[in-house]
Structure 1
Amino acid sequence: MSLTTAFIAELIRAANEADRLSPFEISRLLDRSVDTIRDMRRQTGIAGSHRARDVVIDVQVASARARDLSPAETRDVLLHAADIIRTLKILLDGKE
């Protein structure tokens, strides 16, 4: 299992246990997601957007608000991050 696949699985597991995560754990997972998405975008040649609707900005805002997120919001943002990373992984695997 690749590190990326393992991280996607970790995000999904965390989403399923969103009510048991501390704000620190949520923020850490989301920050790692931002770093992973940015790195994978660089590798694929997909430029990020500096507009308000860029997924990286959404995840960063959620990370900063980790203390205020409900378990449902936490689950949704973790699953969204996992989905973006999975999509980028598929793109990268297709380039090889």
Structure 2
Amino acid sequence: MTTIAGFRSQLFRAANEVHDLTPLQAQRLLEGAVALIRCMREQTGMEPNTEAPDVTNILLDIAGSIPKRSEREIRNALLESADIIRLLTMILDSLDELAADEP
């Protein structure tokens, strides 16, 4: 399992067991997800949508206010970050395939 896939699995597991997470664990997971999302975006050349709030800023806001957030909000943020990472992985894989097909 790749590191990214392992981290994504960790996010899903944490979302399913959010009641067992400490605030610090939840915060670190979300901050790590944001860092990975930003790195993956940079690799794809994708720019965030400027007409709407950037999801990474929203996730960081949630990470910074974990003690004030409900388990549902934390679970949703973890799932959202895992889903974004999944989509970015698919995009990067497609770009790799296209690059391999070029002469």
TM-score, normalized by length of structure 2?
Answer: 0.88
Give the CA deviation at 1:47: 1.4
Q: Which has the larger radius of gyration?
A: 2
Could you tell me which residue of structure 1 aligns to residue 73 of structure 2? 73
Number of aligned residues: 96
Structure 1's unaligned 5+ residue stretches are none
**Which moves more between the two structures, 39-48 or 49-58?**
49-58
Structure 2's unaligned 5+ residue stretches are 97-103
Q: Is 1:10 matched up with 2:2?
A: no
Q: What is the CA deviation profile of residues 28-52 of structure 1, one whole-angstrom value per residue up to 9, with x for unaligned ones?
A: 0000011000000000000135666
Q: How far, CA to CA, are the matches of 2:61 and 2:21 in structure 1?
A: 18
Tell me the secondary structure at the aligned position of residue 12 of structure 1: helix
Q: How far, CA to CA, are the matches of 2:57 and 2:31 in structure 1?
A: 11
Q: How far, CA to CA, are the matches of 1:60 and 1:84 in structure 2?
A: 14
Q: How far, CA to CA, are the matches of 1:43 and 1:37 in structure 2?
A: 10
Could you tell me which residue of structure 2 aligns to residue 40 of structure 1? 40
Could you tell me which residue of structure 1 aligns to residue 94 of structure 2? 94
Give the CA deviation at 1:93: 0.5
Q: Which amino acid aligns with 1:45?
A: G
1:51 and 1:65, CA in 2 relative to 1: closer, same or farther beyond 3 A? farther
Could you tell me which residue of structure 2 aligns to residue 85 of structure 1? 85
TM-score, normalized by length of structure 1?
Answer: 0.94
Runs of 4+ displaced beyond 4 Å: 49-52
Identity of aligned residues (%): 39
